[in-house]
Structure 1
Amino acid sequence: MSGAVDDAGEGDEGAVSSVEKSNDFEQFRDELDAVERRIAGEIDPGMRAMVVAGTVFVLMLSLVLSHAGGARGFDVLLGTQVSQTEHIGLPSRIFVWFVVVFGIGFSLLALMTRRWVLAWIAVAGSAIASVFGVLSIWHRQTPGLGNYYGAGPGIGLIIGTLAVMVLTFHWIRVVWTRTALHLEAEEQRRIAAAEAEERDRKRLTGE
Structure 2
Amino acid sequence: MTGPNFDEFKGDIEAAERQIAREIDPGARALVLAIAVFVLLVTLLLPHAGGARGFDVLVGSDAAVDNAIALPSRVFAWFALVFGVGFSMLALLTRRWTMAWIALAGSTVTMFLGLLAVWSRQTVADPHPGPGIGLVLAWFASIVLAYHWARVVLTRTALQLATEERRRAVAAERNRKGLLDTFGDDDGTPRPSAG
Measured against the shorter chain, the TM-score band is 0.7 to 0.9
The percent identity for this pair of structures is 53
The total of aligned residue pairs comes to 180
Cα offset for 1:197?
Answer: 6.0
What residue is the counterpart of 2:140 in the other structure? Answer: 162
Change (3 A) 1:42 1:77: same
Alpha-carbon RMSD: 2.7
Residues 11-62 of structure 1 deviation map (CA, whole Å, 9 limit, x = unaligned): xxxxxxxxxx9xx555432221111111111111110000000111111111
CA distance in 1, matches of 2:81, 2:157: 26
| 1:125-204 map, 5 Å | 125-143=106-124, 149-178=127-156, 185-195=163-173
Which residue number in structure 2 is paired with residue 59 of structure 1?
40
Please tell me whether Structure 1 or Structure 2 has the larger radius of gyration of its CA atoms: 1
Name stretches of at least 5 consecutive residues in structure 2 with no aligned partner.
Answer: none
TM-score under structure 2 length normalisation: 0.82
Unaligned runs of 5+ in 1: 1-20
Equivalent pair of 1:76/1:88 in contact (CA under 8 Å): yes
* Alpha-carbon distance in 2 for matches of 1:180, 1:72: 45
Q: In the superposition, relative to structure 1, how do residues 152 and 180 fare at CA in structure 2: closer, same or farther (>3 Å)? A: farther
Kept in 2, the 8 Å contact 1:68–1:154? The answer is: yes
Instruction: State yes or no: 1:100 paired with 2:78.
Output: no
Decide whether the 8 Å contact of 1:142 with 1:149 is kept in 2: no
Residues 65-117 of structure 1: per-residue CA shift (max 9 Å, x gap): 11011101000001100000111011100100011111001111111111111
For residue 188 of structure 1, report the CA deviation from its aligned partner: 3.1
TM-score normalised according to structure 1 size: 0.77
Cα distance change of structure 1 residues 164 and 75 upon mapping to structure 2, 3 Å threshold: same
Q: CA offset at residue 185 of structure 1? A: 3.6
